[in-house]
């Protein structure tokens, strides 16, 4: 085999290998679960308020990703990825936290920010921050809608979700068993129409990339959108 032919074969092998890796990476990042979009429910007793109720799980067995947990039954997950809320409304959020946890990479995210009063309640107890060494997930919402950067309302909300101690009698949800939920509640205000992104800032994905791989880097597990309509 002459040298130029050998180099050609080697180059093709590298390109094919790189293409396979790129396709695998794309499939991972765009692995969209079959979750139902979650609409904010108007509160009849409080005009101008609506409620979003979500959950966080240590796996994907609760049913939102399909029978048996879908493609990645062992991946941590929020119950919904796409959230829809009205414009110029106070959004009351309830998150049932079923997962354990550990220490944040960045203690900045132990602070409750952008909520009404910069507080949240944890099983009914109001706090402004939580222990950064005992975090299960965060709900971190951000964005400035409008291509020109002028329309809409800039939103930044961060609420840490403490690790569930897992000491209560397990409950069955879908194909999974979980401890009694730790209930986190908070409110934030929307402005005019726009789309924002939310994600988790606790490293709960894998050992790869500082534990920000797999579920953390795949849309629909630990990240999603919030659309203000």
Fold of 35-228: Immunoglobulin-like (2.60.40)
Please give the pLDDT value at position 211: 59
Average pLDDT, the chain: 82
Quickly state the pLDDT bin for 213 (edges 50, 70, 90): low
Q: Which has the minimum average pLDDT: 44-48, 49-53, 117-121, 141-145? A: 141-145
Cα Rg of the chain, angstroms: 20
Q: Is the pLDDT of residue 133 over 80?
A: yes
State percent of the chain over pLDDT 90. Answer: 60
Global pTM reads 0.81
Mean pLDDT of 147-175: 84
Calculate mean pLDDT across residues 168-185: 94
Report, as an integer, the average pLDDT of 194-213.
Answer: 73
The kind and range of the H/E element at 176 are: strand 176-178
Helices and strands counted in the chain (H then E):
1, 15
Please tell me the distance from the alpha carbon of residue 74 to that of residue 198, in angstroms, as a whole number.
Answer: 22
pLDDT grade, residue 57 (50/70/90)? very high
Q: Residue 210: CB partners within 8 Å, gap ≥ 6? A: 105, 203
| CB half-sphere exposure, 158, CA atoms < 13 A | 15
Whether residue 152 contacts residue 145, with contact meaning beta carbons closer than 8 Å, is answered with yes
Burial 69-106 (b: 16+ CB within 10 A, else e): bbebbebbbbbbbbbbbbeebbbbbebbbbbbbeebee
Cα-Cα-Cα-Cα torsion 156, 128, 89, 123, nearest 10 degrees, comes to 130
Strands 171-173 and 176-178: antiparallel
Q: Is 130 helix (H, G, I), strand (E, B) or coil?
A: coil
- Compute the average pLDDT of residues 147-176: 84
């Amino acid at each position: 085999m002459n040298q130029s032919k050998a180099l050609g074969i080697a180059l093709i092998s590298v390109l094919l290998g790189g293409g396979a890796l790129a396709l695998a990476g794309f499939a991972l990042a765009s692995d969209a679960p079959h979750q139902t979009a979650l609409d904010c429910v108007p509160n009849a007793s409080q005009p101008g308020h609506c409620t979003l109720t979500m959950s966080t799980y240590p796996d994907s067995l609760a049913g939102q990703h399909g029978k048996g947990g879908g493609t990645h039954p062992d991946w941590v997950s929020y119950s919904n990825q796409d959230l829809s809320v009205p414009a110029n409304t106070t959004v009351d959020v309830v998150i049932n936290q079923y997962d354990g946890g550990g220490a944040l990479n960045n203690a900045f995210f132990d602070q409750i920010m952008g909520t009404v009063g910069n507080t949240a309640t944890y099983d009914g107890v109001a706090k402004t921050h939580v222990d950064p060494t005992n975090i299960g997930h965060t709900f971190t919402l951000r964005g400035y809608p409008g291509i020109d950067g002028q329309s809409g309302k800039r939103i930044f909300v961060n609420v840490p979700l403490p690790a569930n101690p897992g000491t209560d009698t397990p409950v069955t949800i879908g194909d999974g068993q979980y401890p009694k939920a730790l209930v986190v509640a908070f409110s934030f205000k929307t402005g005019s129409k726009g789309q924002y992104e939310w994600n988790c800032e606790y490293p709960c994905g894998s050992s790869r990339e500082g534990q920000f791989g797999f579920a953390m880097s795949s849309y629909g597990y630990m990240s999603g959108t919030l659309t203000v309509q």
